[in-house]
Each structure stands twice: as C-alpha cells, then as structure tokens.
Chains A and B, each alone.
Chain A
Amino acid sequence: DAKTTQPPSMDCAEGRAANLPCNHSTISGNEYVYWYRQIHSQGPQYIIHGLKNNETNEMASLIITEDRKSSTLILPHATLRDTAVYYCIVRVYNQGGKLIFGQGTELSVKP
C-alpha cells in the first residue's frame, strides 16, 4: 500500500493561504490521491481528490507533481474554522478501493 508522509503540524495566519504538503513516493500510476480533514474527532470530511492533473473545487486546490510523488493541498484563504487534522491518502487500487489513513497534519489557523 502506498504510504504518505505529512508534517505533523503547521500554523497558518487567518486569511492567508495554507499549503499542506504530502509525499507519496511509492504511488502507482492508477492510484488516486485523496484529502480529508477531521475536526474534533467528527467523521472525516471530504476535501478533494485527483489522479495526475491539478484539481480545484470550492474548498481547495490540489497540486500534484508531474512525477506524482508528492502533492500539495491549498486552502486559498484560511479561516479559524479550517483548524483541523488534514489527511493525505492514496486510494489502494483493487482491494475494494480502501483508504489507508496516515498520521495527518494538524493545521492551526491563528488570528
């Protein structure tokens, strides 16, 4: 299973962009990268996912490097409500498409 590596914690000033990095050097060509976040031990919330192209939705942008070995989640204008643990996950191909969570990055957005 492709393993992801994320920094354990990051700070970001309110209103600024939050850039969360993720390394997934063993990713296979048909495995997607997913980002979820979890606030106060609630159920994880979907943010975005992608295969090889950059993706953007109303919450965030996902930048995947050309070799697909790393990616960056961008929250363009972080708010205090974006304080959460952010998980970068590589979806396992076959095996039912299970998601294996790593340790995540605890993002603190500060006023």
Chain B
Amino acid sequence: SAVISQKPSRDICQRGTSLTIQCQVDSQVTMMFWYRQQPGQSLTLIATANQGSEATYESGFVIDKFPISRPNLTFSTLTVSNMSPEDSSIYLCSGLRGYGYTFGSGTRLTVV
C-alpha cells in the first residue's frame, strides 16, 4: 500500500495567520482526501482533491478558508487560512489507490 508523508507533524500558530500542510505519497494515487479531527471527535471530511481540477468541498467547508492544491498524482496541500482558536485540530490527508486508502500521520495544529 502507499505511504504518505505529512508535514508539519505539529505547529502552534497565531490567530489570523495561515498554515499550509503538505502530503507526499510514495506512489501515484487517484484521489486524495483531507480530514479534520477535532479533540475527542471522529474524522470529518473537508474535501476531495482530484488532480487537475478544483477540490470538492463538503458541506460546512469553503475554499476561501481551506484552499487545496493537487498539482500531481503524488502531492497535495491544504491551507488553513485566517486561523482562529476554533481551527485547533488534527488535520489528516488520505490517498486512494484501487480500493486501498492510506492515511498520513496527521498535523496537530494549535491556534493561540
């Protein structure tokens, strides 16, 4: 199965700033997904990223707040924009190849 490297693993950011999270896959995947996991909660899907097209966002998530880049079949970025303390969460990416989904280890974001 694919291996995903996600970085940074954690960060502490000031409110009002932006953070870009990167995910690098060791082999080509068809789709990539971005999730948010708030403290003590399950994973919530933010958006689906397909190469060469705009990401598809789930209800409650908008491109201005969470812009996503997918320039090729092995790389994607998620930016958390204009951060507030409510954005403090773990953010995870996932890649799909065939029927297999692999997850990154997550980025633990704290906004102060």
Contact = CB atoms under 8 A, between A and B. Distances in A.
Contact of A103 (B42, B99, B100): B42
Contact of B106 (A43, A46, A101, A102): A43
B29 to A, nearest CB: 11
Contacts of A102: 42
Interface residues on B, range: 20 to 34
Contacts of B102: 46
Contacts of B50: 96
Contacts of B42: 85, 87, 101-104
B80 interface: no
A86 to B, nearest CB: 11
- Counting chain A residues whose Cβ lies within 8 A of the other chain, the interface size class is 20 to 34
Interface in A56-82: none
A80 to B, nearest CB: 22
A99 B56 contact: no
Given A41-B90, A49-B99, A98 B44 contact: no
B101 A99 contact: yes
Given A46-B101, A46-B102, A101 B43 contact: yes
